[in-house]
């Protein structure tokens, strides 16, 4: 009996060992499918700069919807300082590429505020993800909004298990308003140190405005130009462009017709 029992145990052990590769393969296949799956909805997030609210891009969205074959819903979210969310607008049923503007109750300027806004953006993003069940997206940030999005991509995107497709930054001061090109601000150092955590499949467009040779009237050109030191070599593609001419000053850039065309072409394509 003992010999028969041992033989039976050996057979069962061998069967279990033979099954292990199958279990591992199924687990790997499941992980691969989950990683490759893209939800039908892929929202486009817009984040305004300092002193601007969640209504900052109303005119821009209206302009985009006049020229695109498919109308994009507009949902505006204001993140309060306690993390509560206030909504206005809505996402239309079956809209695969709605526009979501995330603004902040505290929309002041400053390094510490930008840090807080990046965390508040994460709060809004995760709440929207739970409601609308998307797992990939694109985003545009004007001025400090581009910094908020970059911090999110470096520090919190991995927690959401979402895929970032495209990022456009418009006049984003990666070295803040520092005029001395030999000085690295704490923010630039932070962004530079975290650049290896950027998503490798991300496509990035960085746009600078130019009223003259030094910048757009508020942000020094060198500060925008430093985006290449953060993104180049870390993401799939990085393109930097400079817009000149009418409406090339800092505040008017989101409504600049050249930039509107770039948003339509590169974010809403």
Residue ranges per structural domain of the chain: 1-37, 42-266
64: pLDDT strictly greater than 70: yes
| Residue with tokens 């300082």, as numbered in its chain | 81
Q: Which of 102, 95, 93, 88 is nearest to 68 (CA)?
A: 95
Task: Place 157 in a pLDDT band, splitting at 50, 70 and 90.
Answer: very high
User: Given this model, what pLDDT does residue 210 score?
Assistant: 81
Which tens digit of pLDDT belongs to each residue from 90-125? 999 999 999 999 999 999 999 999 999 999 999 999
Looking at per-residue pLDDT, the higher value among 234 and 216 belongs to 234
User: Given this model, what pLDDT does residue 158 score?
Assistant: 97
d(CA 208, CA 218) in angstroms, rounded, equals 11
Predicted model pTM: 0.86
Helix (H) or strand (E) holding 217: none
User: Given this model, what pLDDT does residue 137 score?
Assistant: 98
Task: Place 1 in a pLDDT band, splitting at 50, 70 and 90.
Answer: low
The CATH-assigned architecture of domain 42-266 is 3-Layer(aba) Sandwich (3.40)
């Amino acid at each position: 009996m003992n010999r028969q029992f041992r033989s039976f145990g050996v057979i069962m052990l061998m069967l279990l060992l033979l099954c292990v590769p199958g279990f591992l393969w199924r687990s790997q296949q499941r992980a691969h499918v989950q990683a490759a799956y893209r939800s039908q909805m892929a929202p486009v997030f817009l984040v305004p700069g300092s002193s601007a609210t969640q209504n900052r891009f109303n005119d821009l969205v209206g302009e985009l919807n006049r020229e695109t074959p498919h109308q994009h819903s507009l949902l505006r979210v204001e993140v309060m300082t306690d993390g509560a969310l206030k909504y206005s607008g809505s996402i239309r049923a079956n809209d695969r590429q709605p526009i979501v503007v995330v603004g902040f109750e505290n929309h002041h300027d400053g390094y510490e505020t930008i840090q807080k806004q990046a965390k508040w953006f994460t709060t809004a993003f995760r709440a929207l993800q739970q409601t609308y069940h998307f797992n990939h997206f694109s985003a545009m940030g004007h001025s400090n909004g581009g910094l908020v999005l970059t911090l999110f991509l470096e520090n919190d995107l991995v927690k959401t298990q979402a895929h970032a497709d495209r990022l456009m930054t418009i006049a984003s001061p990666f070295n803040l308003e520092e005029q001395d090109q030999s000085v690295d601000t704490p923010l630039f150092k932070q962004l530079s140190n975290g650049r290896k955590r950027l998503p490798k499949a991300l496509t990035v467009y960085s746009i600078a405005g130019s009223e003259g040779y030094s910048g757009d009237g508020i942000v020094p050109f060198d500060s925008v130009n430093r985006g290449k030191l953060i993104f180049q070599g870390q993401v799939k593609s990085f393109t930097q462009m400079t817009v000149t001419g009418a409406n090339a000053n800092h505040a008017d850039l989101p409504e600049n017709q050249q930039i509107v065309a770039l948003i339509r072409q590169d974010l809403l394509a």
